[in-house]
């Protein structure tokens, strides 16, 4: 008893308050924290810190989980889990600089180019996860899925709403450009989305095809040029020149002529009048 207060009554009131505040994790660790106080391991202020930290961690994890579902990221990849040693052509510091997420603030497009299995999708998802943890809204989809959703919206008369939805995310990740043929008219639909996000939202795009092949990928050189005109204006291009991580244990089974064609080298970005040249992550901002 202290100052006429019954500790048991006070403790029960604390429990009710934690329930009322929906602080489930704090309530869960309350008894353990009180025992640490009784054993002299922590003081009252530290105990409050423990309860609040545990609750905040739970809520942040819950927020991240929900944001991952919204982003359609089903397989979590991290930068810590990426094998940089297997891809020596990749500048680790440059990727870590991208993880600082300044490219999102600058509304830039990050292009991850390389042969299949070199880690493009892993890096794209990992950067998306970093963005979600930082509180940015993210959406992930393959190019084929995005075009299919736009085509469906167009048929249903809701194309404008679909483009508005996809433009609302701070970061849009477009995976697997060049893996599947683009349906007729798909390139034009994708251009409308890119144009809507141009200088308004950041993008990460992964492709196994060089920029010179985008006319073939989209089935229309004019549309491909218009896409690159916007996607390379404010851009960071990361070229990965290496072998497939998935096939690393079976490299001897891959024909030499296939391995020799694995590397792709994008041509220089198209010139634009009156606009700044292609800038890479880490370059100083123009004066």
Say what the pLDDT of residue 273 is: 45
Is there a contact between 192 and 156 (Cβ–Cβ < 8 Å)?
Answer: no
Q: What is the pLDDT of residues 112-168, one digit of tens each?
A: 999 998 999 999 999 999 999 999 999 999 999 999 999 999 999 999 999 999 999
Is there a contact between 222 and 183 (Cβ–Cβ < 8 Å)?
Answer: no
Token readout for 158 is: 């809701």
Residues of the chain with pLDDT under 50: 1-2, 247, 250-251, 254, 258-271, 273-274, 276-277, 284-287
Is there a contact between 153 and 162 (Cβ–Cβ < 8 Å)?
Answer: yes
Surface-to-core class of residue 106, CB atoms within 10 Å of its CB (0-12 exposed, 13-18 middle, 19+ buried): middle
Query: Residue 112: beta bridge partners?
Result: 206, 238
Which single residue is written with the structure tokens 């880690």? 119
Q: Give the count of beta carbons closer than 10 Å to the beta carbon of residue 113.
A: 23
Distance from C-alpha of 125 to C-alpha of 145, rounded to nearest angstrom:
16
Say what the pLDDT of residue 266 is: 46
Say what the pLDDT of residue 279 is: 52
Distance from C-alpha of 71 to C-alpha of 138, rounded to nearest angstrom:
5
As a whole number, the mean pLDDT across the chain is 87
Q: Could you confirm whether domain 72-260 is CATH 3.30.200.20?
A: no
Q: What is the pLDDT of residues 255-281, one digit of tens each?
A: 555 444 444 444 444 445 445 445 555
Token readout for 120 is: 């493009």
Is there a contact between 128 and 163 (Cβ–Cβ < 8 Å)?
Answer: no
Query: Residue 204: beta bridge partners?
Result: 110, 173
Which part of the chain is CATH 3.40.50.300?
Answer: 72-260
């Amino acid at each position: 008893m202290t100052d006429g207060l019954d500790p048991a009554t006070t403790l029960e009131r604390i429990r009710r308050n934690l329930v009322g505040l929906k602080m489930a994790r704090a309530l869960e660790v309350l008894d353990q924290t009180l025992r640490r106080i009784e054993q002299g391991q922590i003081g009252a202020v530290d105990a409050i810190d423990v309860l609040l930290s545990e609750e905040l961690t739970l809520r942040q994890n819950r927020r991240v989980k929900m944001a991952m579902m919204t982003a359609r990221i089903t397989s979590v990849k991290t930068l810590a889990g990426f094998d940089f040693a297997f891809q020596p052509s990749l500048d680790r510091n440059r990727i870590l600089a991208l993880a600082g997420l300044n490219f999102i603030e600058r509304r830039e497009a990050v292009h991850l180019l390389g042969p299949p299995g070199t880690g493009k999708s892993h890096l794209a998802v990992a950067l998306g996860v970093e963005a979600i943890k930082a509180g940015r809204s993210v959406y992930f989809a393959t190019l084929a899925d995005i075009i299919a959703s736009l085509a469906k919206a167009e048929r249903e008369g809701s194309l404008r709403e679909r483009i508005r939805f996809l433009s609302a995310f701070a970061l849009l990740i477009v995976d697997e450009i060049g893996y599947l043929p683009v349906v007729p008219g798909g390139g034009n639909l994708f251009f409308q989305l890119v144009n809507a996000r141009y200088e308004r939202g950041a993008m990460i795009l992964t492709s196994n095809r060089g920029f010179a092949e985008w006319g073939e990928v989209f089935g229309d050189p004019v549309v491909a040029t218009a896409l690159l005109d916007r996607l390379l204006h404010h851009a960071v291009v990361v070229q990965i020149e290496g072998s497939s991580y998935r096939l690393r244990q079976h490299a001897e089974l891959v024909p030499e002529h296939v391995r020799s064609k694995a590397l792709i080298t994008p041509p220089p970005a198209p010139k634009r009048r009156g606009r700044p040249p292609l800038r890479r992550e880490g370059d100083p901002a123009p004066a």
